[in-house]
Amino acid sequence: MFSKRIVSAASTLAVIAGLAIAAAPATATVTPPVPNPPLNAKCGLNFALILDSSGSIGTEGMENLKDASDAFTEALVDTGSMVSVTSFATQSPGYIDYNWPNPSPGQNLAPTALTSANLPTIQGSYGNLVSYGSTNWQDGFLKSQATFSGFAPATAPDLAVLITDGYPNTTNGGIGDPLGEAVKIANEMKNADVHMFGIGVGEGVNTSAIKAVTSDIELLADGSNFADAGFTTTTSYETLAKTLKKIAVQLCAPSLTITKVVTSADNPEPTPADGWTFATTITIPQGDGQWVKPGTDAITVGVPSTKSLATSQSGAANFQWLPDGELVTDPVIVKETQKVGYAVQPDLKCSARNVLEDTTRDFTTTLATDGTWNLGAIDPLEIVTCTATNVLKDTGSVKITKEFNAQGSGYAGTFDVAYKCVDGSDLIAEGTAALAAGESKTLSGLPTGTVCTVTEPTLPANPSGWTFNPPTFSPSNQATITTKGQEASVTVVNSVAQVSPVVVKKTCPINATLHKPQPKLMGTRILTDKITTKKSDCAMQKPVVLCRPLTATSAGETAFCTTKVSKKGKITVKTDGYDAVKVSVVVKVKAKVGSSDTWKGNTWRKSWKLK
């Protein structure tokens, strides 16, 4: 991989400053260049093209410049890069015709995702430029710098590439030294951590000015020092194209860039989508390695290593790693974190490019039952790009309505209606709605296939004298979204029933007046003087009098006395033949016919021992 070292400031600045001053007019004061920051060599490189279309380029040189620009953009297409294009001549943008004194300006291109779909637009932004006018690096740099915010979330691109024939000769308003003004802006770019790189086109290119805005480090033929190089020149654009391809390989191979696109019934055109997370698991069976992006973790020989990344910059997620040597990576496994409301398309369409050999192999891998795609083996010189497509499902809604007839209960409160909507194993919506009679809640944006279940697990407290019946659901307590725009409905019906008042029955009274003094001796004895009850509602049965001897020899005997009971309840007993007896009186009262709803029976008992 490229080394990430900072060029010695002392030697570099001394050489560049000397070159710049020597090339500038004797009366000019040239701003000293600042060090060119090393390039953080990685795939997904963001860069700005700054193209010279002045008259000194010439027609042939203009075509060569376009070829060089094409070579660089084509080498990095579909690798997660973004590019802006700024042209300049007397001003920026450069011209697209020769209509003196008012030639037509072209149009600069704001930062744009470098994808196959966008490549015609990107290359078209400079395709019609003509060689015409003066050479104003200052305005070209300023207009390019003005686009840097478009590389968000980054504040500037990683790289700015100036393609020119060698030297500026004018400024904005004709004020200041042409090179000195350009160096000022180039310094600002460098201080924003933008690596400056110049490509000199044509015969006899004057590189002194290019070095002043970049550095004096020339690109090696194999492109291996691109991270630190400041410039290159060539008269062979075939050779330059090969060099740029080598740079692309060193930047990106091996790598995997996954582009997420979504479609819908309303927009069938695949649209890049950010914020989708992919996990890539790689195994290098014959050696160790290291992750380059995301992270820099070590990779152990034969041990699967996984990294996750969310798509950004027009739907791209870039994974890059570096085997220790030209080693095959096998297998490469990809898994996507699905989003609710989308249907995954099982085919992952991929293209593996070896830009050095100009070969491409297209392949499609199908989603496995475990939710992964197996890409198989990736060669160490391959740049792999894949497109994952998801379809935004059509949506509908479910309307939950409360129906309730309070009758005479007076209840005007709410009922807690619970709902849960799922699409397969995905939870779409869940919650509780407090609905009064006639109110409703609509759950919208539910993907087709969603099933909503409605329940009412807890009823409100019953109104006094009334009770809530269990709820019913119409047409059922489930609703399924099957078509776009559908509004399914669930009506939750509650009812109340009046409760009969609870009557507490009174006990029929038994009022017994015991004779005084209470009898204790055998013989004829009075036990009660009278026994009464509430005659209007209760009826007293004839008292039952039982006698039994207390001595052991009389076991089993049941009655040993003569009993007399008056209508008023006077009870008299006469005992005979035993030394001692126990006398028990039982009085029962029951409710009269017509009073049984309010009165209930009663029993009175009393015992005496007579000796």
pTM for the model: 0.62
Q: Do 213 and 33 meet the contact criterion of CB atoms below 8 Å apart?
A: yes
User: Residue 6 has what pLDDT?
Assistant: 29
User: Residue 4 has what pLDDT?
Assistant: 30
**Beta carbons within 10 angstroms of residue 192's beta carbon:** 15
Q: Summarize pLDDT for 476-533 with one digit per residue, the tens.
A: 999 999 999 999 999 999 999 998 777 788 999 999 999 999 988 888 888 899 999 9
CA dihedral of 131, 132, 134, 136, whole degrees rounded to 10: -60
Nearest to 174 by CA among 204, 116, 128, 134: 134
User: Residue 555 has what pLDDT?
Assistant: 52
How far apart (Å, rounded) are the C-alpha atoms in residues 143 and 122? 17
User: Residue 68 has what pLDDT?
Assistant: 82
In the chain, the domains with their CATH numbers are: 9-251 (3.40.50.410), 253-392 (2.60.40.10), 395-498 (2.60.40.1140), 506-610 (2.60.40)
Q: Do 386 and 372 meet the contact criterion of CB atoms below 8 Å apart?
A: no
Q: Do 390 and 434 meet the contact criterion of CB atoms below 8 Å apart?
A: no
The first and second tokens of residue 250, run together, are 């060193």
User: Residue 559 has what pLDDT?
Assistant: 55
How far apart (Å, rounded) are the C-alpha atoms in residues 95 and 107? 9
User: Residue 10 has what pLDDT?
Assistant: 34
How far apart (Å, rounded) are the C-alpha atoms in residues 129 and 132? 9
Q: Is the dihedral of CA 338, 340, 342, 344 positive or negative?
A: positive
Q: Which amino acid makes up residue 548? A: R
How far apart (Å, rounded) are the C-alpha atoms in residues 343 and 520? 100
User: Residue 153 has what pLDDT?
Assistant: 82
User: Residue 18 has what pLDDT?
Assistant: 38
How far apart (Å, rounded) are the C-alpha atoms in residues 133 and 93? 11
Contacts of 191 (CB under 8 A, 6+ apart): 34
Contacts of 360 (CB under 8 A, 6+ apart): 351, 352, 353, 354
Residues comprising the chain, all counted: 611
Q: Which residues pair with 256 in a beta bridge?
A: 319, 384
How far apart (Å, rounded) are the C-alpha atoms in residues 63 and 59? 6
Angle, alpha carbons 501-502-506 (nearest 5°) = 130
Q: Summarize pLDDT for 235-288 with one digit per residue, the tens.
A: 777 777 777 777 888 888 899 999 999 998 888 899 999 999 999 999 999 999
User: Residue 7 has what pLDDT?
Assistant: 32
User: Residue 549 has what pLDDT?
Assistant: 83
Burial-class residue 279 by CB neighbours within 10 Å (0-12, 13-18, 19+): middle
Contacts of 88 (CB under 8 A, 6+ apart): 50, 51, 52, 53, 54, 94, 135, 136, 137, 139, 140, 143
Contacts of 339 (CB under 8 A, 6+ apart): 276, 390
Nearest to 527 by CA among 564, 559, 560: 564
How far apart (Å, rounded) are the C-alpha atoms in residues 176 and 309? 48
Q: Which stretches of the chain score pLDDT less than 70?
A: 1-30, 552-560, 577
Residue 148: left if φ>0, alpha if ψ -120 to 50, beta else—which one?
alpha
The first and second tokens of residue 381, run together, are 């010189």
The first and second tokens of residue 109, run together, are 């291109």
User: Residue 581 has what pLDDT?
Assistant: 86
Packing angle, helices 9-23 and 178-191, rounded to 10: 160
How far apart (Å, rounded) are the C-alpha atoms in residues 611 and 331? 112
